[in-house]
Structure 1
Amino acid sequence: MSDHLTPAEAETAFWKSLKHSNTGMLGIDRPGYHHQPMTGFGEPETGTIWFFTRNDTDFARDVAAGGQMGMFCYQAKDEKLQACIHGRLAIDLDRERIDRFWNPVVAAWYPDGKADPHLTLIRFDADDGRVWVSDTGMLGFGYQILKANLTKSTPDAGGVADVNLG
């Protein structure tokens, strides 16, 4: 694997990708806890990802208990970027964020709209993580696999960098 990817490049690529393809797996970072699909709205300037959820879910109740560390695992739709990000989870009913990120898909989960009593925001303050970036696409990946098998070498699948988003 190439090591030409700097942490700054990996961080920039992560935030850009999250803006266009924003669904990943979010969960509390502890043994036995299952992650669940969630749609995140990123704020690179603060290192924060916001998730809408309902306050009547086990996940929201567990986060509301306080002091929870979380993990957000992400793969872009185009499969050119993967990330695993660690951070702190908290309930935060920030009305400005609700207004900013509200859209028809989010609205479908809340029959009473922004006034729905179950509407909850989870704030994920990103800390450290690892980001993998490959811009070769499927054809380039296939070429790398073929080349590696023919030359008895390993494929160049892109770059990986540890990041500090907080």
Structure 2
Amino acid sequence: METGSREKLMEILKKFRNAMLVTQASHGVLRSRPMALMKVDDATGDIWFMTSIDSGKVDEIESNPEVNVTLQEEHRYLSLSGRASIVRSRAKIEELWSEEAKVFFPRGKDDPHLALIHVSPREGEYWDNHGAAGLRFLVEAVKAYVTGTTPKADSTQHGAVPLSAGQTANGLTSSR
């Protein structure tokens, strides 16, 4: 069910530089690890990370490509659910290479163990209590506390947004 705006979700997503990538291990346990965002595609919301092909997360993604990407900073939170794939294209690695990656790949962009993780999110959910939205939430929280209810949030503060193929004219995915 759509309760927020794709534009708001993308605005929040573009503020982050790091994320937690959640995969499922072969024995069913969920595993999270911090990852540097190499690129966020403006049109699709697709996310790119760099990794070593020797990493356990590569095996986990190849066994079960369903992943979650979580992002958090002070008063902004984002959760994206979708499918991941391992990309070994040297051209794409060249395109996304950054000198910051040399910390993890000292042999550079030509390291034969370097691969990419491509995440295509199908849905996302955001919580943004930064700035004016945070002040509105604080007022709602005080009202809720006094009246014994729960705080109300609007689509600038919280929303769930479908992101996969079959998008409607306004850029959102049809739920049919």
Runs of 5+ unmatched residues, structure 2: 166-176
Indicate conservation of the 8 Å contact 1:87/1:124, yes or no.
Answer: yes
State the secondary structure of the residue aligned to 1:62. helix
Runs of 5+ unmatched residues, structure 1: none
CA RMSD between the two structures:
2.6
2:59 aligned with 1:61: yes
TM-score normalized with structure 1 length: 0.76
**Percentage identity across paired residues of the two chains:** 26
Indicate conservation of the 8 Å contact 2:10/2:45, yes or no.
Answer: no
Q: Size of the alignment, in residue pairs?
A: 157
Deviation at 1:32?
A: 0.9
Please, which moves more after superposition, 44-53 or 108-117? 44-53
Distance between the aligned counterparts of 1:100 and 1:20, measured in 2? 21
State the secondary structure of the residue aligned to 1:161. strand
Any idea what the Cα deviations from partners look like across 1:72-123, whole Å, max 9, x if unmatched? 1222x2423x232221111112334323332232221111110112211011
Q: Find the counterpart in structure 2 of residue 122 from structure 1.
A: 117
Q: Find the counterpart in structure 1 of residue 141 from structure 2.
A: 145
Q: Find the counterpart in structure 1 of residue 41 from structure 2.
A: 43
Deviation at 1:29?
A: 4.6
Indicate conservation of the 8 Å contact 2:21/2:67, yes or no.
Answer: yes
Distance between the aligned counterparts of 1:95 and 1:12, measured in 2? 31
Q: Find the counterpart in structure 1 of residue 160 from structure 2.
A: 161
Distance between the aligned counterparts of 1:160 and 1:99, measured in 2? 35
Specify which structure has the bigger relative contact order, considering alpha-carbon pairs within 8 angstroms and separated by 6 or more residues: 1
Distance between the aligned counterparts of 2:112 and 2:120, measured in 1? 24
Please, which moves more after superposition, 39-48 or 50-59? 39-48
State the secondary structure of the residue aligned to 1:117. coil
Please, which moves more after superposition, 95-104 or 108-117? 95-104
Deviation at 1:160?
A: 2.0
Indicate conservation of the 8 Å contact 1:127/1:165, yes or no.
Answer: yes
Indicate conservation of the 8 Å contact 1:131/1:163, yes or no.
Answer: no
- Residues 32-111 of structure 1: matches in 2 within 5 Å? 32-40=29-37, 41-63=39-61, 65=62, 68-75=65-72, 77-80=73-76, 82-111=77-106
Deviation at 1:163?
A: 1.9
Indicate conservation of the 8 Å contact 1:85/1:128, yes or no.
Answer: yes
TM-score normalized with structure 2 length: 0.72
